[in-house]
A and B are shown apart, each in its own frame.
Chain A
Amino acid sequence: MNHLSKPSHCDFFSHLYIEESVKNEPLTCKIKEKFSDSKIIFIKHYKDVFNRPNQDFAIQSKSKNLILARREAPFLYEGSFYSDGFEYEHFFYTPSILGCLYDCDYCYLSGMYNSANSVFFVNTQDFFDAVLPYLHKPTLIAISYDTDTLAIESLSDHTKEWIEFAQKHPNLHLEIRTKSANFKAIKALHVSDQIVLAWTLSPQKIIELYEHKTPSLQRRLSTIKEAIDAGWRVRVCIDPVIYNEEFHELYPPLIEQLFATIEADKLFQLTLGSFRMSSVHLKKIKKLRRSDIAYYPYEVKENIVSYGKTIEQNILHVMLDKAMQYIEKERIRTWQLQ
């Protein structure tokens, strides 16, 4: 028996948990083939693993595993109060993947789920079928809400399938929010005005401190430029802004850097917003004890924590002033609690 010389964490997806009911699904077989070295563990229901009590989110984050399952209804949820619905009467998000490959300290997922593992629902067609009844009116679906679909695209062509589905239904609009630099996965698809690719940007220092395992600012900027040059609608989200003593040194230069990389006229929209979160989620994130973000003395109003009116307005004022040097206010979306 050979012994490992030094203890180490497992690689991502060292273990695949597969619901018995989906073990023969084509997508399951494809993913199994991709991770042929992974240990396969058959389960009855994804919640038996994903919702186990006493999981350590922080420790699991270093060795995330994948759960393949069949989703039962509901396949759509009303868009959250914490995010922008862009005035669509029908605004939903779809929980087709739960959990994210990235590991951002400020993400509500670590306060919402017991597990750092990801659940991938392989019955994609059921999600599509659930959308159809709403398509008599313009409908916005956020497909990257409880995950970053583009980051996990190499597993399944999930984003590609949603885009192709939307292109068959003119009233269906998608927002694909991401930090990924994996634009090549969808580059060959037909460009469509129904799709908004929304990249979250943060200053490089904030990325290094809080957005673990995500692409660098430079890679995200290059990817954004590539998508815009290919003709896609791109929304850049500087949201959440993480406030600290270096705010003025970090964030206005980020806007300068953005517009030094891309032509302002070609940007579909810019979203600005400061950090906010449900107080319930923040309480759970505190227990992970891994980031100062969890412990800032936020103001709490109606179960939402935020920096409070003065700091929040200062953030938006500074950011708006800077952004409006490049684009008109009509293309800037802002999120403010007060």
Chain B
Amino acid sequence: MLYITVALSAEARPLIEHFKLTRTYALPYTMFENEEVKLIVTGVGIENAMMATSAFLGHFPPSSDDVFFNIGICAAPKSFEIGEAVLAHKITSNLEQKHSYFPDILFEHTLSECELLCVSSPQNTPLHVPTDMESYGVYKAVSRFLDTHQILFFKVVSDHFEPENVSKELTIELISKNLKNLDAIIRSAFYVTKKDSLFTQDEKEDIKQISDCLTKAQGDAFYDACCYYKLHHKKALHAEYPLGISPPPQKSSKQERNKYFESLIKTLTL
């Protein structure tokens, strides 16, 4: 699943069209989704972003295969061109000086990377790094749910600290023009995040069925032994004893269960 937060409806519009998202009313926020993408409009500012992001991920808990993007416009020094897309590798705040956040960007890409300073209001005075108003709150909320390499900040430069020049139409245009860049980054983020599942669904069900007949400690040891077997032999658990066979009868004695457990472990880890 791809999770997206944006601050403004204008930032959301090109994404809604691009990903063919439909409106959903699961949360008290403007939210859109399809089978692979969920998008929420958080509103402007750190607090709004943090609250909406917490609600979003709390309601739809992400997994270790998922990727989160905060997408939007930002102001930037003149060394960045208007319309340029950047990825943030450091998030700082002018309110909370003490702590910075560091998303891991572990894939090759062609965009510029930068520090992103999160401020409390639109800036008229030039600052030394790109600046937005949500990233710090977003990271703070997302970091409760996802690993550092699953959290990405994709920003498009809208102005050189001249907020009066930024219109709804310009915002839509800038995001629209960077959809190809965004697609490439999303593809790479999923590539890095992807983990092959150790067990098939059938294997998971068999493991559960047998574990249910064992004590908690035995079940844990049995699961470890299954992991050992899969990683060591690199073949399906079904190919050999023991997961094709029936688990011990429910009413077996403690002795019988222990004996069955020992034979399972021995077979899997020989």
A53-61, A214-222, A259-267, A325-333: which one contacts chain B?
A: A53-61
Closest chain-B Cβ to A63's Cβ sits at a distance in Å of 4
Residue in B147, B192, B231, B265 whose CB lies within 8 Å of A54: B147
User: What's the Cα separation between A39 and B88 when bound, in Å?
Assistant: 12
Interface hits, B168-222 → A, CB 8 Å: 180-181, 184, 187-188, 190-193, 198, 221
Q: Does A104 contact B (CB under 8 A)?
A: no
Q: A292-B231, A295-B224 are in contact. Are A55 and B104 (CB under 8 A)?
A: yes
Residue in B89, B192, B269 whose CB lies within 8 Å of A7: B192
A8-16, A128-136, A165-173: which one contacts chain B?
A: A8-16
Closest chain-A Cβ to B47's Cβ sits at a distance in Å of 22
The tally of residues in B whose CB lies under 8 Å from a CB in A reads 39
Q: A7-B107, A63-B106 are in contact. Are A1 and B181 (CB under 8 A)?
A: yes
Interface hits, A274-298 → B, CB 8 Å: 286, 289-292, 294-297
Q: Does A30 contact B (CB under 8 A)?
A: no
* SS of A interface (majority): loop
Q: A59-B106, A292-B232, A295-B225 are in contact. Are A3 and B180 (CB under 8 A)?
A: yes
> Could you say which residues of chain B place their CB within 8 Å of the CB of A295?
224-225, 227-228, 231
User: What's the Cα separation between A299 and B181 when bound, in Å?
Assistant: 52
Closest chain-A Cβ to B140's Cβ sits at a distance in Å of 12
Q: Does A62 contact B (CB under 8 A)?
A: yes
Q: A53-B143, A60-B106 are in contact. Are A296 and B149 (CB under 8 A)?
A: no
CB atoms of B106 and A289 under 8 A apart = no
Q: A41-B90, A292-B228 are in contact. Are A56 and B221 (CB under 8 A)?
A: no
Interface membership of chain B positions 106-126, coded 1 if the CB is closer than 8 angstroms to chain A and 0 otherwise: 111110010100000000000
> Could you say which residues of chain A place their CB within 8 Å of the CB of B192?
7, 9, 59, 62-63
Q: Does B95 contact A (CB under 8 A)?
A: no
Interface hits, B60-79 → A, CB 8 Å: none
CB atoms of A8 and B107 under 8 A apart = yes
A44-52, A192-200, A226-234: which one contacts chain B?
A: A44-52
Interface hits, A1-32 → B, CB 8 Å: 1-4, 7-11, 14-15, 17
Q: Does B99 contact A (CB under 8 A)?
A: yes
Q: Does A244 contact B (CB under 8 A)?
A: yes
Q: Does B105 contact A (CB under 8 A)?
A: yes
> Could you say which residues of chain B place their CB within 8 Å of the CB of A245?
270
Closest chain-B Cβ to A330's Cβ sits at a distance in Å of 37
Closest chain-B Cβ to A178's Cβ sits at a distance in Å of 27
> Could you say which residues of chain B place their CB within 8 Å of the CB of A17?
102
Q: Does B146 contact A (CB under 8 A)?
A: yes
Interface membership of chain A positions 301-316, coded 1 if the CB is closer than 8 angstroms to chain B and 0 otherwise: 0000000000000000
Closest chain-B Cβ to A25's Cβ sits at a distance in Å of 21
> Could you say which residues of chain A place their CB within 8 Å of the CB of B193?
59
Closest chain-A Cβ to B98's Cβ sits at a distance in Å of 8
User: What's the Cα separation between A180 and B180 when bound, in Å?
Assistant: 43
Q: A289-B198, A295-B228, A297-B225 are in contact. List 18 more A-B contacts (CB 8 A).
A: A1-B110, A1-B180, A4-B188, A7-B107, A9-B106, A9-B192, A14-B108, A56-B149, A59-B149, A59-B192, A62-B192, A245-B270, A286-B224, A286-B227, A295-B227, A297-B221, A297-B224, A297-B265
Pairs A–B under 8 Å by Cβ, sample size 21 = A1-B181, A4-B110, A4-B184, A7-B187, A7-B190, A8-B188, A11-B108, A15-B89, A44-B100, A48-B102, A54-B146, A55-B148, A59-B149, A59-B193, A60-B149, A63-B106, A63-B107, A292-B231, A296-B228, A297-B225, A297-B228
